[in-house]
Amino acid sequence: MKAYVLHGINDIKFEDVNKPVPRENEVLLKVCAAGICGSDIPRIYKNGAHVHPIILGHEFAGIVEAAGDSKNADLVGKRMGVFPLIPCMECDQCKARQYEMCRKYNYLGSRCDGAFAEYVAVPIWNLIELPDTVSFGEAAMLEPFSVAAHSMRAMIDENTDRNTSVLVWGAGTIGMMLVMLFKAEGFKNILCVASKSYQAETLNEKVGIEKENIFEGTDKDKVKEWIKEKSGTGAKIAFECVGKNETYAAVIENAAPSANIMLVGNPASDMSLSRDLYWKILRSQLTIKGTWNSSYTKEEDDDWHYVLSKLSNNEMAAEDLISHRFKLENLSDGFEIMRDKSENYIKCMFVK
C-alpha cells in the first residue's frame, strides 16, 4: 500500500509499505478521510516523532476491510470513526475510566502507525460506528471536535445560563469548533478573538457569529476595551486556544471576577506568570483548568458520542471547516501549506 512514512525530522516520503495485518481484537481499516492536525507539522519538520520510521495521522475515519479474528467478522464493511489513544487499561486513570489521562498510553499516528496511508490497523475498542448521516470528512474531525467538547463540557452543564458571556481567544481549528459547539448548546453571548481576517470572516459567514462579537487583531488595549464593552466586568467563561504567553496573560486579564478559564492551546514555548497576573487570579478568585484530550468510554455520555450526536443531527455545519481536500498522493501539499502558511486554511485533509 501507499503511505507517508516519516523517517526522521524533515524526512517524510510517500512510498510503498506492507499493508498492516490486523491481530486479534483489531481490524484493518480502509482510510476514507484523514485530517492534518496542527501538531503533525512540528512532528514532520521540527521535532520528529516518538519513533521512526512511523506513519503519522490520528484524525481519521474509514471502512472496516478485514477483522483479525473470526469473532469480529461482522464488523467488515462498517463505517467507523477512531479514538486514536490506545490506553494501557492498567494504570489508576484507566481503572477510573479516565482513559484520556492514561500514563502508559500508545497513540495511533504519533507513537505507532496512523492514517496517512491507504490502510491502518486499529484496535476494535477504539472504533465508533458512524451513522449514514455523518460523512467521512466530518468523522475525521471527531477527534478535534471531541477535544473542544471536552473543554466546553468541563466548564458548563445543563443549568448554566445560556446568556453567560463566553470568550474564545484564538480562531484556529479548536477555537472554531468550540464556537460551533457553544452555538449548538444555545449560548447567545459568544465573544471571539481572531488574529487573522479570514478567521473572522469564517466565524461570521460559516459559523454564524455576528460581526460585532468578533474582534479581529491582537491589540491588547483595544481587545480589553471591546471585551469590557461587550461583557461589562469581563468574560465569565474563557478559553485560551492559542498556546502563547501573551494570550494566556490576556485571557486572565479579561476574565470577570469568579470566572472559569480553560487552557486548551498547546504551548508554543515556556509559559510564565507575572506578579500582577498572579494577584488577578487571587483577588478575582479565578478558576483555571487545563485539558488536552477527550473522554471516550464507549458510552453515550462520553465526548465522542456527544459530538457524533451533534453531527448526525446536523446541529453544526462541520464540513464548512474543511478548507482543503486532497487525494492521498497530494496530501504533502497540505503539510507544506500548513508549514509555510502560504494559504489561508482551517482544516486540511485527505478525503477519498
Query: Is 128 found in the same domain as 177?
Result: no
Confidence band (pLDDT; 50, 70, 90) for 268? confident
pLDDT tens, position by position, 289-330: 999 999 999 999 999 999 999 999 999 999 999 999 999 999
Given 268, 290, 312, which residue is the final one in a domain?
A: 290
User: Which candidate, 104, 148, 162, places its Cα nearest to that of 316?
Assistant: 148
Residue 69 host element (H or E): none
pLDDT at 68 over 90: yes
Q: Rounded to the nearest 5 degrees, what angle is found at the Cα of 351, between the Cα atoms of 126 and 14?
A: 90
- Which segments of 97-172 are extended strands (E)? 106-107, 119-123, 127-129, 166-169
As a whole number of angstroms, the distance between CA 276 and CA 274 comes to: 5
* pLDDT confidence bin for 269, thresholds 50/70/90: confident
Q: For 182-220, write each residue's pLDDT tens digit.
A: 999 999 999 999 999 999 999 999 999 999 999 999 898
Let me know if residue 234 belongs to a domain. Answer: yes
Q: How far does CA 86 lie from the centroid of its chain?
A: 17
- Residue 258 domain-assigned (yes or no): yes
Task: For residues 274 and 299, state if they share a domain.
Answer: no
Q: State residue 213's pLDDT score.
A: 97
> What distance in Å separates the CA atoms of residue 292 and residue 276, rounded to the nearest whole number?
27
Instruction: Give the count of alpha carbons within 13 A of 305, CB side only.
Output: 8
Judgement on whether residues 12 and 121 belong to the same structural domain of the protein: yes
Binning pLDDT at 50, 70 and 90, where does residue 280 land? very high
Asked whether residue 150 is assigned to any structural domain, the reply reads no
- What is the pLDDT averaged over residues 268-295? 95
pLDDT in tens, 250-260: 999 999 999 99
Domain with 73 in it: 2-145+294-351
Q: Provide mean pLDDT across the span 263-286.
A: 94
- Indicate if 42 and 137 belong to the same structural domain: yes
3-state helix, strand, coil in the chain (%, to 5): 35, 25, 40
CATH number for the domain that contains residue 128: 3.90.180.10
Mean pLDDT of 143-149: 98
- Tally of domains within the chain: 2
> Is residue 195 located within the same domain as residue 283?
yes
What CATH number does residue 236 fall under? 3.40.50.720
Nearest alpha-carbon partner for 29 in 109, 102, 110: 109
Whether the model pTM is above 0.85: yes
Residues 281 and 338 in one domain: no
CA 238 centroid distance within chain: 17
